[in-house]
Amino acid sequence: MLVFSKARLVFLSVPKTGTTAYQAALAPKADMVVRNPPELKHAPVFRYNRFFRPALEKFCGEGFDILAVIREPIDWLGSWYRYRQRPGMEGAKNATHDISFDDFALAYMQGKRPPFAEVGSQAKFVEPCNNGTAVTHLFRYEDQEGLRRFLSERLDHGFETKRLNESPPGAPQLSPGVEQRLRRKCAHEFALWDGIGEAGSHTPLAHQA
């Protein structure tokens, strides 16, 4: 997570959306950089609202915008699947070396996910809070040009990013039947990504009971 007090902007780090590269590039410009532990680095909206927002508003005033990046859901799951096949993961309970991408997706759809498929939810990450705290700028991961342009203009700071913390290469594919089940089961994830327009605009996010 990055906080830019002058620009009145908080950049939340949705996992597997390339935010580590942006953190490395923009850390010198940020007033607050949360790198560890992962639970705080990747603080979702509800955790930001509970632990960070009160302090920021107390010392810096109100009026912070919140930025987040969302990746196409199948590609996002594929990145997690590949990431858990990286060297050194062999034998870990959350490794995916001996699991097909179809089985990974099917496990992700279970009510109680096994460790290797427990990767969270992008929709839950950006779910608004009851007090109105919500993401105000939502970009697609695939729109890197638009994201960089927005940040450069908002921060009045040109920058370049390097690819960091990457998953192993590859493009795992789901079988048609599994993809259809995933789109039905996780329709809210696809609706979130589909609802993001140009320049970080998006349809209003609704609180999920």
C-alpha Rg value of the chain to the nearest Å: 17
- The gap from C-alpha 23 to its chain's centroid, in whole angstroms, comes to 13
Per-residue pLDDT at 165:
61
Q: Give the integer Cα–Cα distance in Å for 107 and 140.
A: 25
CATH class of 2-200: alpha beta
Predicted pLDDT at 167: 62
List, for residues 28-59, the tens digit of each pLDDT value: 999 999 998 989 999 999 999 999 999 999 99
Tell me if 141 sits within 8 A of 18, measured CB to CB.
yes
Domains in the chain: boundaries:
2-200
Q: In what order do the strands lie in the sheet with 2-4?
A: 32-33, 2-4, 9-11, 65-70, 137-140
The predicted structure's pLDDT at residue 204: 43
Number of residues assigned to the chain: 209
The pLDDT score that the predictor gives to residue 208 is: 41
Output the pLDDT for position 203: 44
Which ranges of the chain have pLDDT less than 50? 202-204, 206-209
| Cut 0.85: pTM above it | yes
